[in-house]
Amino acid sequence: MNTAMIKELRERTGVGFGDCKKALVAADWDMDRAVDVVRRQSGAKAAKKADRTASEGLLGLAVGDAGGAVVEVNVETDFAARSAQFGVFVERAVEQALVTGTDGLAEALEDERQTLVQEIGENVSVRRAAALSVPDGVVAGYLHQDRKKAALVAVSGGEDHDHTDLARDIAMHVTAMRPLVVSPADMPDDVIAKERAILMEQ
Protein backbone atom coordinates (compact mmCIF):
# COMPACT_ATOMS: atom_id res chain seq x y z
CA MET A 1 0.00 0.00 0.00
CA ASN A 2 1.37 3.41 -1.02
CA THR A 3 0.28 5.79 1.73
CA ALA A 4 1.86 8.81 0.02
CA MET A 5 -0.24 8.26 -3.11
CA ILE A 6 -3.39 7.85 -1.04
CA LYS A 7 -2.60 11.10 0.75
CA GLU A 8 -1.96 12.88 -2.55
CA LEU A 9 -5.23 11.64 -4.04
CA ARG A 10 -7.06 12.72 -0.90
CA GLU A 11 -5.55 16.21 -1.16
CA ARG A 12 -6.49 16.42 -4.84
CA THR A 13 -10.07 15.19 -4.46
CA GLY A 14 -11.10 15.79 -0.85
CA VAL A 15 -12.58 12.30 -0.43
CA GLY A 16 -11.91 9.91 2.45
CA PHE A 17 -8.86 7.68 2.93
CA GLY A 18 -10.74 4.44 2.23
CA ASP A 19 -12.34 5.75 -0.97
CA CYS A 20 -8.95 7.00 -2.18
CA LYS A 21 -7.37 3.60 -1.57
CA LYS A 22 -10.19 1.83 -3.45
CA ALA A 23 -9.87 4.26 -6.37
CA LEU A 24 -6.10 3.75 -6.59
CA VAL A 25 -6.49 -0.04 -6.48
CA ALA A 26 -9.16 0.14 -9.21
CA ALA A 27 -6.80 2.33 -11.28
CA ASP A 28 -3.76 0.06 -10.72
CA TRP A 29 -2.14 2.86 -8.69
CA ASP A 30 -2.20 5.31 -11.61
CA MET A 31 -2.89 8.74 -10.09
CA ASP A 32 -4.64 10.35 -13.09
CA ARG A 33 -6.87 7.32 -13.62
CA ALA A 34 -7.63 7.25 -9.88
CA VAL A 35 -8.80 10.86 -10.03
CA ASP A 36 -11.17 9.86 -12.85
CA VAL A 37 -12.44 6.92 -10.77
CA VAL A 38 -13.17 9.26 -7.85
CA ARG A 39 -14.98 11.71 -10.15
CA ARG A 40 -17.15 8.92 -11.57
CA GLN A 41 -17.92 7.66 -8.07
CA SER A 42 -18.80 11.22 -7.01
CA GLY A 43 -21.42 11.37 -9.75
CA ALA A 44 -22.86 7.99 -8.77
CA LYS A 45 -22.99 8.88 -5.08
CA ALA A 46 -24.50 12.27 -5.85
CA ALA A 47 -27.22 10.59 -7.93
CA LYS A 48 -28.03 8.19 -5.07
CA LYS A 49 -28.33 11.08 -2.62
CA ALA A 50 -30.28 13.36 -4.98
CA ASP A 51 -33.67 12.25 -3.62
CA ARG A 52 -32.75 13.03 -0.02
CA THR A 53 -34.19 16.28 1.31
CA ALA A 54 -31.72 19.14 1.64
CA SER A 55 -33.51 21.36 4.14
CA GLU A 56 -30.61 23.13 5.86
CA GLY A 57 -28.30 25.59 4.22
CA LEU A 58 -26.74 28.99 3.90
CA LEU A 59 -27.01 32.12 1.83
CA GLY A 60 -24.06 33.68 0.10
CA LEU A 61 -23.98 37.32 -0.93
CA ALA A 62 -21.49 39.16 -3.12
CA VAL A 63 -21.42 42.70 -4.47
CA GLY A 64 -19.16 44.03 -7.21
CA ASP A 65 -18.87 47.07 -9.44
CA ALA A 66 -21.53 45.79 -11.85
CA GLY A 67 -24.11 44.65 -9.29
CA GLY A 68 -24.77 42.02 -6.67
CA ALA A 69 -25.87 38.41 -6.28
CA VAL A 70 -27.35 36.23 -3.56
CA VAL A 71 -27.43 32.42 -3.68
CA GLU A 72 -29.09 29.85 -1.43
CA VAL A 73 -27.39 26.46 -1.18
CA ASN A 74 -29.02 23.68 0.83
CA VAL A 75 -27.73 20.52 2.47
CA GLU A 76 -29.31 17.83 4.65
CA THR A 77 -28.04 18.72 8.13
CA ASP A 78 -27.06 21.81 10.07
CA PHE A 79 -23.77 20.08 10.93
CA ALA A 80 -22.83 19.85 7.24
CA ALA A 81 -24.02 23.42 6.64
CA ARG A 82 -21.43 24.61 9.17
CA SER A 83 -18.57 22.67 7.55
CA ALA A 84 -15.70 24.52 5.90
CA GLN A 85 -16.17 22.65 2.61
CA PHE A 86 -19.82 23.68 2.39
CA GLY A 87 -18.99 27.30 3.18
CA VAL A 88 -16.37 27.37 0.44
CA PHE A 89 -18.89 25.97 -2.06
CA VAL A 90 -21.49 28.61 -1.12
CA GLU A 91 -18.92 31.38 -1.64
CA ARG A 92 -17.87 29.84 -4.93
CA ALA A 93 -21.52 29.69 -6.04
CA VAL A 94 -22.24 33.34 -5.26
CA GLU A 95 -19.02 34.53 -6.90
CA GLN A 96 -20.00 32.56 -10.02
CA ALA A 97 -23.46 34.16 -9.97
CA LEU A 98 -21.91 37.61 -9.62
CA VAL A 99 -19.64 37.09 -12.63
CA THR A 100 -21.85 35.09 -15.02
CA GLY A 101 -25.39 35.69 -13.76
CA THR A 102 -27.89 33.20 -12.42
CA ASP A 103 -28.95 31.48 -15.66
CA GLY A 104 -27.41 28.01 -15.77
CA LEU A 105 -25.75 28.48 -12.38
CA ALA A 106 -26.59 25.01 -11.06
CA GLU A 107 -25.32 23.38 -14.24
CA ALA A 108 -22.08 25.37 -14.12
CA LEU A 109 -21.46 24.18 -10.55
CA GLU A 110 -22.53 20.56 -11.05
CA ASP A 111 -19.06 18.98 -11.05
CA GLU A 112 -18.10 20.86 -7.89
CA ARG A 113 -21.44 19.96 -6.29
CA GLN A 114 -20.90 16.27 -6.97
CA THR A 115 -17.42 16.47 -5.47
CA LEU A 116 -18.84 18.15 -2.36
CA VAL A 117 -21.51 15.44 -2.03
CA GLN A 118 -18.70 12.88 -2.10
CA GLU A 119 -16.74 14.81 0.56
CA ILE A 120 -19.52 15.45 3.08
CA GLY A 121 -21.77 12.47 2.33
CA GLU A 122 -24.97 14.50 1.99
CA ASN A 123 -27.16 15.79 -0.80
CA VAL A 124 -26.36 19.39 -1.78
CA SER A 125 -28.71 21.60 -3.78
CA VAL A 126 -28.22 25.03 -5.34
CA ARG A 127 -31.81 26.00 -4.52
CA ARG A 128 -32.17 29.53 -5.85
CA ALA A 129 -30.22 32.58 -6.88
CA ALA A 130 -30.88 36.20 -7.73
CA ALA A 131 -28.78 38.97 -9.23
CA LEU A 132 -29.37 42.71 -9.25
CA SER A 133 -27.78 45.53 -11.21
CA VAL A 134 -28.70 49.13 -11.94
CA PRO A 135 -27.35 51.55 -14.56
CA ASP A 136 -25.98 54.78 -13.11
CA GLY A 137 -26.42 53.65 -9.54
CA VAL A 138 -25.10 51.39 -6.82
CA VAL A 139 -26.00 47.98 -5.45
CA ALA A 140 -25.33 47.06 -1.84
CA GLY A 141 -26.34 44.11 0.25
CA TYR A 142 -26.68 42.82 3.77
CA LEU A 143 -26.20 39.23 4.89
CA HIS A 144 -27.40 38.46 8.42
CA GLN A 145 -24.83 36.78 10.66
CA ASP A 146 -26.81 33.51 10.69
CA ARG A 147 -26.58 33.49 6.86
CA LYS A 148 -30.29 32.63 6.65
CA LYS A 149 -31.51 36.10 5.62
CA ALA A 150 -30.14 38.55 3.07
CA ALA A 151 -31.17 41.47 0.89
CA LEU A 152 -29.82 43.30 -2.16
CA VAL A 153 -30.82 46.91 -2.82
CA ALA A 154 -30.17 49.08 -5.88
CA VAL A 155 -30.21 52.87 -5.61
CA SER A 156 -29.91 55.27 -8.54
CA GLY A 157 -30.06 59.04 -8.98
CA GLY A 158 -28.12 61.91 -7.47
CA GLU A 159 -24.98 61.48 -9.55
CA ASP A 160 -22.93 63.69 -7.23
CA HIS A 161 -23.43 61.37 -4.27
CA ASP A 162 -22.32 57.85 -3.41
CA HIS A 163 -25.42 56.04 -2.17
CA THR A 164 -23.62 52.85 -1.13
CA ASP A 165 -24.15 53.44 2.60
CA LEU A 166 -27.81 54.29 2.02
CA ALA A 167 -28.34 51.14 -0.05
CA ARG A 168 -26.61 49.03 2.62
CA ASP A 169 -28.75 50.56 5.38
CA ILE A 170 -31.92 49.87 3.39
CA ALA A 171 -30.77 46.28 2.78
CA MET A 172 -30.23 45.83 6.52
CA HIS A 173 -33.70 47.24 7.21
CA VAL A 174 -35.28 44.96 4.60
CA THR A 175 -33.57 41.94 6.15
CA ALA A 176 -34.83 42.86 9.62
CA MET A 177 -38.40 43.92 8.73
CA ARG A 178 -39.11 41.69 5.70
CA PRO A 179 -41.48 44.09 3.89
CA LEU A 180 -43.95 42.59 1.43
CA VAL A 181 -43.47 45.25 -1.25
CA VAL A 182 -41.12 48.07 -2.22
CA SER A 183 -43.78 50.77 -2.64
CA PRO A 184 -47.23 51.24 -1.03
CA ALA A 185 -48.69 51.29 -4.56
CA ASP A 186 -47.50 47.69 -4.99
CA MET A 187 -49.48 46.38 -2.00
CA PRO A 188 -52.29 44.00 -3.09
CA ASP A 189 -55.81 45.21 -2.26
CA ASP A 190 -56.67 42.01 -0.37
CA VAL A 191 -53.71 42.50 1.98
CA ILE A 192 -54.75 46.10 2.65
CA ALA A 193 -58.32 44.98 3.36
CA LYS A 194 -57.13 42.25 5.73
CA GLU A 195 -54.84 44.61 7.67
CA ARG A 196 -57.58 47.26 7.85
CA ALA A 197 -60.01 44.67 9.26
CA ILE A 198 -57.50 43.61 11.92
CA LEU A 199 -56.96 47.24 12.97
CA MET A 200 -60.70 47.87 13.15
CA GLU A 201 -61.12 44.89 15.51
CA GLN A 202 -58.47 46.13 17.94
DSSP line for 114-180: HHHHHHHSS-EEEEEEEEE--TTEEEEEEE-TTSS-EEEEEEE--TTS--HHHHHHHHHHHHHH--S
Domain annotation for the chain: domains and CATH numbers:
3-49 (1.10.8.10), 56-185 (3.30.479.20)
* Rounded Cα gap, residues 143 and 147, in angstroms: 6
Centre a 10 Å sphere on the Cβ of residue 161 and count the other Cβ atoms it contains.
Answer: 11
- pLDDT digit string (tens) for 60-87? 999 998 899 999 999 988 899 999 999 9
Q: Residue 37: pLDDT band by 50, 70, 90 thresholds?
A: confident
Lowest-confidence pick of 41-50, 87-96, 188-197: 41-50
Contact 119, 46 (CB under 8 A): no
Work out the average pLDDT over 47-69.
78
Phi, psi of 199 (to 5 degrees): -65, -35
pTM of the entire predicted model: 0.69
> Considering the chain, what percentage of its residues have pLDDT values greater than 90?
44
The predicted structure's pLDDT at residue 7: 82
The predicted structure's pLDDT at residue 107: 92
pLDDT at 161 over 80: no
Q: What is the mean pLDDT of the chain?
A: 86
Q: Could you report how far apart the first and last alpha carbons of the chain are, in Å?
A: 77
The predicted structure's pLDDT at residue 73: 95
